[in-house]
Structure 1
Amino acid sequence: MDTRYPALITKALEGGFCVRFVDLDEAFTEGDSMEEALFNAAEVLTLTLEGRLSEGIEVPPPSRSVRGARYIAPDAKTQGVLLLRAARGERSLAELARALETSWPQAKRLEDPHHWPSLKTLDRAVRVLGKRLVLSVE
């Protein structure tokens, strides 16, 4: 699963660049330069996704093949939460906790964007879900 979200970037009339995310109406930002706009976009994407996850609001999957869009990733913690949730699918947190032989609160922490699980823990969680953790650097 790819956790990068499509963003449309336009030149602002007063200078700089405006960025808005196709799948997240509340996520938009700007920057004086393209570099600053992309940095701010990653920040606002992370904050928007963290907010939705913390408040129990649905997080839509990223749209694919959006013409003219730049695909932007949230921070690694948020990506981990999104990937684990996708791997868990319809299984409950209680089922995940039992498979990991841990408590429900410990399993829930794995899906908390403010918690930073180790790679070992994340790998173990996805393995019990029948998946494989794959890392990438861009």
Structure 2
Amino acid sequence: MNIAYPYTIEPQPEGGFLVQFADLEEAFTEGETEEQAAFNAAEVLTAVLAQRIEDGDAIPLPQEAQGRPVAVPDAPVQAALLLHFARQGHTLSELARAMGTSWPAVQRLMKPGNPTLKQLERAAAALGKRLVLSLE
């Protein structure tokens, strides 16, 4: 699964570019150049998704890009979201039992932070998944 959310980028009459995410209505930003707007898009995406995780709010799967540019949240938020989406249908208690760890330890994995690769691998295996890393 790839956690990449598409956005629109529109030049503004007064200069600069406006970025808006279709999947996350509260996620929007701007930049003086397209490059700055794209950088800001990743920053605001990270902040909005981290806040939704913290608040326990619904997090939609990203839409298909359909030729639109995409932004990717930072690695700690990506890790939390990958576990969030992969564990659908499994309680934290079930995941904790499958991993042989405590409920609080699993709860910490579900929030943006600094999980180790070993923790992520164990969680993925407990969910019948395999951890795959890539650099883009």
TM-score, with length taken from structure 2: 0.96
Which of 118, 128, 131 aligns to 1:130? It is 128
Partner amino acid for 1:91? H
Q: Where do 1:54-69 residues align within 5 Å?
A: 54-66=54-66, 68-69=67-68
User: What amino acid maps onto 1:2 in structure 2?
Assistant: N
Alignment of 1:43-58 (within 5 A): 43-58=43-58
Instruction: Show the counterpart of 2:11.
Output: 11
Displacement, 1:101?
Answer: 1.1
3-state SS in 1 of match to 2:130: coil
Partner of 2:104: 105
Q: Which runs of 4+ in 1 moved over 3 A?
A: none
1:94 aligns with 2:93: yes
Give the secondary-structure state (helix, strand or coil) at the position aligned to 1:64: coil
Equivalent-residue separation in structure 2 for 1:110 and 1:38 (angstroms): 28
* Distance (Å, rounded) in 2 between the aligned partners of 1:56 and 1:65: 26
Superimposed CA distance per residue, residues 41-72 of structure 1 (whole angstroms, 9 cap, x where no aligned partner): 00000000011110011000001143x41111
**Structure 1 stretches lacking a partner, 5+ long:** none
Structure 2 counterparts to residues 29-48 of structure 1, below 5 A: 29-48=29-48
Matched residue type, 1:47:
A
Name the CA distance, whole Å, in 2 between partners of 1:6 and 1:31.
17
Q: Can you give the 5+ residue segments of structure 2 that lack an aligned partner in the other structure?
A: none
Q: Quote the residue 1:2 is aligned against.
A: 2
Provide the aligned length of Structure 1 versus Structure 2: 136
